[in-house]
Amino acid sequence: MNDEALKKQIVEVLQQDCETLPAHLRSRLNQARQQALDEAAASTRRKHWLRFGLPAGLATACTLVLAMWMTPPGPGEHSSVPVSASMAAEDLQLLAEPTDLELIEELEFYAWLEQVDAGTS
Amino acid sequence: MESARDDSDSQARMRLDRFLAGVEARAFRMARLAARNDEEALDIVQDAMLAFARRYANKPEAEWPPLFHTVLNSRILDWHRKQQVRRRWRVFFQRDDDEADPLEQAPDPHESGPAGELEQDQCQQVVQQALAALPPRQRQAFLLRNWEGYSVAETARIMGCGEGSVKTHLSRALKALREQLQELNHE
Nearest residue to B90 via CA among B144, B82, B73, A104: B82
Q: How far apart are the CA of B39 and the nearest CA of chain A, in angstroms? A: 9
Residue B49, φ and ψ in degrees, nearest 5: -65, -45
Question: Distance between CA atoms of A25 and A17, rounded to whole angstroms?
Answer: 13
Within 10 A of A105 (CB to CB), how many other CB atoms are there?
9
* Other CB atoms within 10 Å distance of the CB of residue A99: 8
pLDDT value of residue A104:
65
User: pLDDT at position B120, please?
Assistant: 52
Contact assignment for B146 to A35 by CB distance below 8 Å: no
ipTM above 0.85, yes or no: no
Bigger pLDDT: A78 vs A29: A29
pTM of this prediction exceeds 0.80: no
In this prediction, residue A102 has a pLDDT band, given cuts at 50, 70 and 90, of low
Of residues B144 and A61, which shows the higher confidence score?
B144
Closest by CA to B26, choosing from B72, B60, B63, B62, is: B72
Q: Do B57 and A44 touch (CB under 8 A)?
A: yes
How many degrees, rounded to 5, is the angle at CA A19 between CA A21 and CA B55?
75
pLDDT at B118: 46
Asked if A36 and B127 come within 8 Å (Cβ–Cβ), the reply is no
Mapping DSSP onto H, E and C, the string for B68-114 reads HHHHHHHHHHHHHHHHHHHHHHHHHHCCCCCCCCHHHHCCCCCCCCH
- Dmax (CA) for chain A in angstroms is 114
Chain B residues whose CB is inside 8 A of the A21 CB are 25, 28-29
Contact B81, B60 (CB under 8 A): no
Report helix angle B152-159 to B163-186, nearest 10: 100
Question: Angle, nearest 10°, between helix axes B163-186 and A3-19?
Answer: 80
* Chain A interface includes B1 (CB < 8 A): no
% of chain A beyond a pLDDT of 90: 21
**How many CA atoms does the CB half-sphere of A36 hold within 13 Å?**
31
User: Using CA atoms, how far apart are residues B96 and B14, in angstroms rounded to an integer?
Assistant: 56
Please give the Cα distance from B109 to B92 (Å, whole number): 29
What are the φ and ψ backbone dihedral angles of A100, each rounded to 5 degrees?
A: -80, 100
Domain ranges of chain B: 1-94, 114-187
Residues across chain B: 187
Residue A114 lies in a domain: yes
Cα distance from A43 to chain B (closest Cα, Å)?
6
Domain assignment present for A11:
yes
Q: Is residue A38 part of a domain?
A: yes
Residue A99 binned pLDDT confidence (cut-offs 50, 70, 90)? low
Q: Which helix (H) or strand (E) covers residue A83, if one does?
A: none
Structural domain of A39: 3-70+84-120
For residue B158, the model assigns a pLDDT of: 95
187 residues of chain B, pLDDT tens digit each: 567 767 777 888 999 999 999 999 999 999 999 999 999 999 999 999 999 999 999 899 999 999 999 999 999 999 999 988 888 887 777 655 455 555 444 445 444 444 444 445 677 888 888 999 999 999 999 999 999 999 999 999 999 999 999 999 999 999 999 998 887 666 6
Q: Which region among A28-42, A107-121, B114-128, B169-183 has the lowest average model confidence (pLDDT)?
A: B114-128
Nearest alpha-carbon partner for A1 in B117, B123, B133: B123
- Residue of higher predicted confidence among A85 and B135: B135
Residue A21 to residue B28, Cβ atoms within 8 A: yes
Q: Is there a domain that residue A17 lies in?
A: yes
Handedness of CA A41, A45, A48, A50 (dihedral sign): negative
| Class at the top of the CATH hierarchy for domain B114-187 | mainly alpha
Domain count, chain A: 1
- Predicted confidence (pLDDT) at residue A113 exceeds the cutoff of 60: yes
B54 shares contact with chain A (CB less than 8 Å)? yes
